[in-house]
């Protein structure tokens, strides 16, 4: 098989599990002999390959996105700071190693980490909740988490339906939760209003956050879709990873389809093209981040990937296979 075809195969393999791969044109070594079974059986391999290729633990220059909203994450993982007149909100904390990088980014933007009053999260996995405990201790901020993910946050991932058995590899420092959220709850601080939508699937408490902000005199809706992707080893239909996961995913995809944000961001930076948007924003400003059509396509891809996986588990032939059997 040609090298570029092998690289594309590796890219598609991880992309199918809501984690894109980086091609060799970006200077990264892309394994060409991995299978989805390899990734499902070896969580350490999955973390190592995804983390390296997608630059989860590499620092990134922070940037103002729009109004009170700023990017303070790593090259591969999205963390966001809302700056308000009543204190700041930090959304997602990346890997356990990300805490000091996020603090440095906040300082580079001219803000004080100790002004952070609230920490929120998309879901209870180590690549997004890894530094919650570190930042809570550093800032004294309260932590608000969707009810179904509270136990996993507080025990460092032991309660996770898929990774709990391997928490020594996939877990993170436990963090005490101060506020338990339920579907539709809002967080209001200063000029920022955030709504927490319970969108389970990826974890039982996965949360899609929607923010209402004002930038340059314009009201904007910003969405961080969560819960719609699945990782290596998830069972979404036959012998499901947890009872009701199939229905959860389908309700989540439908709910995500109903949202119509002006700006689409995410917990993984390749979802929304961070680097390209930062470059455009240097000349276009806020306009560079407005991407409602990209959001629609993203949700459609996740829904299609889920239904294809469900079909495979149930033994339903792929469309091409159906045509060949006619």
Active site amino acids: 123, 125, 127-128, 202, 234, 268
d(CA 207, CA 181): 10
CA distance 87 to 64: 17
Residue 290's nearest CA partner among 223, 229, 227 is: 223
Signed CA dihedral, 20, 24, 27, 33: sign only:
positive
> 35: Cβ–Cβ under 8 A, 6 or more apart, which residues?
13
Q: How far apart are the first and last CA of the chain?
A: 30
Buried/exposed 225-246: b ≥16 CB within 10 Å, e otherwise: bbbbbbbbbbbbbeebbeeebb
User: What are the structure tokens assigned to 252, written together?
Assistant: 């989540």
């Amino acid at each position: 098989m040609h090298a570029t075809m092998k690289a594309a195969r590796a890219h598609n393999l991880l992309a199918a599990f809501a984690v894109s791969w980086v091609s060799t044109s970006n200077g990264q070594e892309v394994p060409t002999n991995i299978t989805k079974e390899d990734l499902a059986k070896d969580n350490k391999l999955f973390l190592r390959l995804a983390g390296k290729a997608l630059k989860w633990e590499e620092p990134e220059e922070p940037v103002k996105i729009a109004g009170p909203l700023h990017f303070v994450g790593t090259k591969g993982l999205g963390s966001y700071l809302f700056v308000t007149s009543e204190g700041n909100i930090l959304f997602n904390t990346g890997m356990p190693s990300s805490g000091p990088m996020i603090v440095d980014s906040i300082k580079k933007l001219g803000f004080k980490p100790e002004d952070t009053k609230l920490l929120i999260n998309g879901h209870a996995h180590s690549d997004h909740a890894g530094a919650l405990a570190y930042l809570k201790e550093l800032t004294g901020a309260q932590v608000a988490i969707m009810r179904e993910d509270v136990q996993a946050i507080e025990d460092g991932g032991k309660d996770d339906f898929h990774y709990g058995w391997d928490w020594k590899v996939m877990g993170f420092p436990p963090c005490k939760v101060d506020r338990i959220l339920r579907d539709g709850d809002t967080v209001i601080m200063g000029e920022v209003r955030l709504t927490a939508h319970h969108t389970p699937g990826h974890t039982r408490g996965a949360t899609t956050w929607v923010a209402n902000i004002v930038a340059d005199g314009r009201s904007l809706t910003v969405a961080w879709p969560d819960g719609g992707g699945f990782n290596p080893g998830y069972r979404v239909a036959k012998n499901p990873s947890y009872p009701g996961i199939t229905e959860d995913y389908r309700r989540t995809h439908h709910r995500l389809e109903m949202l119509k944000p002006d700006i689409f961001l995410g917990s993984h930076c390749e979802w929304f093209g961070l680097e390209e948007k930062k470059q455009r924003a240097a000349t276009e400003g806020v306009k560079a981040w407005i991407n409602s059509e990209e959001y629609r396509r993203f949700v459609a891809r996740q829904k299609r990937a889920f239904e294809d996986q469900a079909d495979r588990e149930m033994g339903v032939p792929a469309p091409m296979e159906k045509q060949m059997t006619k």
